[in-house]
Amino acid sequence: MHSLRGRLTLGVLVVLAVVLAAAGALASRYVVNSERDAFDDRLRRTAELSRATALAAVQEEIPGNDRRLDAVLTATRTSLRLLLGETVLLDTGAPPPRSRPLPLGLRTFSAGGDDYRAYVSELRDPNLGGLARLEIVSSLEALEERERELQQRLLVLGLLTLLAAGIGVWFTADRLLRPLARLRAFASRVAHQDDLAQRAPTDDGAKELRSLAESFNAMLARLGTSAADRERALDATRRFAADAGHELRTPLTSVQATLSALERHPELPPERRTEMARDALAEQRRMVDLLDGLQALARGDATGLERRDVDLADCVDGVLAAVRERHPGLEVGVTLPDEPVVVSGWEPGLRMLVENLVENAIRHGRDGGRVAVSLTTGPGGPVLRVDDDGPGIAAEDRERIFAPFARVEGTDRPGSGLGLALVAQQARHHDATVEVGEAPLGGARFEVRFAPPNP
């Protein structure tokens, strides 16, 4: 009874047993009352039919000698007595039980260990003055025997019904609970295989089981997302540690060597010491930029996007305002639409994308050159273009430059080597694509195409 099928079968049997007991009790009570009413009616009819014989016995003072009546009364174990006061004038039928004088009407009494039913009435004759009484007494043994047989039959019928119902419910419950058993087996398989990508079938079983399967699938989806986020965060942490250890080794060694040289050679001229300190400071700044880039890259890989509607035009305008403050002599051409350009995304990530593209264009363009930024919209979605007037990027290098720390051969411009990796990362997170081509200014064009907004 520890199984659901056993408990369901037991519960149905308990309910059915109560219903059968109540129905059996009502049926038995109805049959018993009907038979006792018929029994009482027979006693009344017997008294009515015997009234003429009793009057003749009293008025003519002759004993009743109705053999047919005596045979009928004996067959039904009924006795008839006519009493005038305490004197018995007529006694026929089965031997009457010994009992005290009975009151008028119907009465049940016991005598000699048996139950009897009696009907006592007065003879309606004004000359008798109510002294003559007619007693009809019949044994209840046959009636009680029939009642016991009825109760036994009802009991046997109820037990057979419970047995048949129990077998039927057991096999029916097994059939109905098969989808639940399959769902339990599926959950056990997921637990043992540790595969959160599996999904339970949602078209099997009753409505409640299908709803349970849908809830289970939703739980698996949330667990899968959580596990993926955790794994992504661990991968980002490991990659951050590996990249930081690899890329910081050279600048740290350089700074350490410079500081050691300054410590060992206090006799160096001030100009040389200043130059060496400036080089160490440049290396320190490079390390800070590198750590910032690595941190941004790891954070972008480790966390999911909190998407909301972002005005991409406002985002580009804000980034360019900050760039102009950092590069006051830079000529930046801007083309933005008058209407908001709304995309669904993470605003800090979009700003990072735009800022790294613009900074990359400034870094690799000509000194004192130009940078052009444009944002257009169309049926295919918003398109962001950033152009520079530098040497451009060869076709064979246009894919690999988006890898972390990748550099174009022959480029000596400073940088952490992570800017375009961040651009590719955020474009991927925002379902956008990045293409590199040739700009009208003569340098490289970076074109970011965003997906069209949902209708």
Structure tokens at 11: 């519960």
Name residue, tokens 């009616």: 41
- Around Cβ 139, how many Cβ atoms within 10 Å? 18
Q: How far apart are CA 178 and CA 171, in angstroms?
A: 11
Q: What is the pLDDT of residues 38-74, one digit of tens each?
A: 988 988 888 887 777 777 766 665 555 566 667 767 7
The pLDDT-based confidence of 246 (bands split at 50, 70, 90) is very low
Q: Do residues 77 and 94 make contact, with C-beta atoms less than 8 angstroms apart? A: yes
Give the mean model confidence (pLDDT) for residues 344-373.
86
Lowest-pLDDT range of 6-15, 162-171, 183-192: 183-192
Q: For residue 210, with 0-12 CB atoms within 10 Å meaning exposed, 13-18 middle and 19 or more buried, which class applies?
A: middle
Q: Where in the chain is the domain with CATH 3.30.450?
A: 4-169
Structure-token match 């990249």, residue found: 243
- Residues of the chain with pLDDT > 70, as a percent, come to 78
Q: Where in the chain is the domain with CATH 3.30.565.10?
A: 305-449
Instruction: Mark residue 442 as left, alpha or beta (left: phi above 0; alpha: psi -120 to 50; beta: remaining).
Output: left
Give the list of residues 6+ apart from residue 83 with CB closer than 8 angstroms, or none.
89, 132, 133, 134, 135
DSSP string, 353-400: HHHHHHHHHHHHS-TT-EEEEEEE--TT--EEEEEE-SS---GGGTTG
Lowest-confidence segment of 103-112, 279-288, 351-360 by average pLDDT = 279-288
What whole-number distance in Å separates Cα of residue 236 and Cα of residue 18? 66
At 286, give phi and psi (nearest 5°). Answer: -60, -40
Average the pLDDT over 147-163 and give the result: 90
Residue 42, CA distances (Å) to 2, 38, 255, 345 in order = 57, 6, 126, 96
User: For 95-104, 340-349, 434-443, which range has the lowest pLDDT when averaged over its residues?
Assistant: 95-104
> Which residue matches tokens 């058993």?
181
C-alpha angle with apex 186: 185 to 187, nearest 5 degrees? 90
| CB atoms near residue 287 (< 10 Å) | 19
Which are the contacts of 224, defined by CB distance < 8 A and separation ≥ 6? 196, 197
Give helix 270-302 / helix 419-429 axis angle, nearest 10°: 10
CATH architecture of the domain with residue range 4-169:
2-Layer Sandwich (3.30)
Cα–Cα distances in Å, from 8 out to 1, 2, 15, 169, 212?
Answer: 9, 10, 11, 8, 19
CB 374 within 8 A of CB 385: yes
More confident of the two residues 89 and 390: 390
Element (H, E) at 444: strand 444-449
Q: Tell me how many degrees the CA angle 47-52-54 measures, rounded to the nearest 5.
A: 70
Residue 369 has pLDDT above 50, yes or no: yes
* Cβ 331 vs Cβ 371: under 8 Å: yes
CATH domain 305-449 topology: Heat Shock Protein 90 (3.30.565)
What is the residue-averaged pLDDT of the chain?
Answer: 79
